[in-house]
């Protein structure tokens, strides 16, 4: 965490992932790389060999769901909102948090 991947290169049958973290930089090699980020952000990486132009253009045009949202995860000792009758999913145009949803603990919360 806290690393910024800058490029992915194919080198002698492996993949080299280059990244920076502050003033440090590093390379790691792997057989496979999984990119777990929106296509529009993946398009900003340098690929060698280069990504096909059509694929790169499509990645840049792909909308990112909730891309402009501020995302926060909060952990509470108890689900106090339930006692107050606040629903697990809420939308508001006036509140400081416009969307709120609960990510409960599955079976511990008697969910299926």
| pLDDT for position 112 | 45
Q: Closest Cα to residue 101, out of 21, 33, 81, 9?
A: 81
- For the stretch 6-57, pLDDT in tens is 999 999 999 999 999 989 999 999 999 998 888 888 999 999 999 999 999 9
pTM: 0.57
Res. 109 pLDDT band, cuts 50 70 90? low
- For the stretch 76-101, pLDDT in tens is 888 888 888 877 777 777 777 777 77
| pLDDT for position 3 | 86
Q: How many CA atoms lie within 13 A of 15 on its CB side?
A: 14
Cα 97 to Cα 48: distance, rounded to the nearest angstrom:
41
| pLDDT for position 110 | 54
Radius of gyration of the chain measured on its C-alpha atoms = 20
- Do residues 38 and 64 make contact, with C-beta atoms less than 8 angstroms apart? yes
């Amino acid at each position: 965490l806290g690393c910024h991947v800058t490029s992915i290169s194919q080198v002698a049958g492996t993949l080299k992932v280059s990244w920076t973290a502050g003033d440090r930089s590093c390379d790691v090699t792997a057989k496979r790389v999984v990119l777990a980020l929106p296509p529009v952000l993946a398009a900003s990486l340098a690929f060698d060999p280069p990504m096909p132009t059509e694929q790169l253009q499509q990645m840049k045009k792909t909308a990112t769901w909730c891309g402009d949202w501020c995302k926060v995860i909060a952990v509470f000792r108890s689900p106090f909102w339930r006692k107050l009758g606040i629903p697990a999913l809420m939308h508001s145009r006036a509140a400081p948090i416009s969307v709120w949803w609960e990510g409960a603990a599955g079976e511990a919360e008697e969910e299926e």
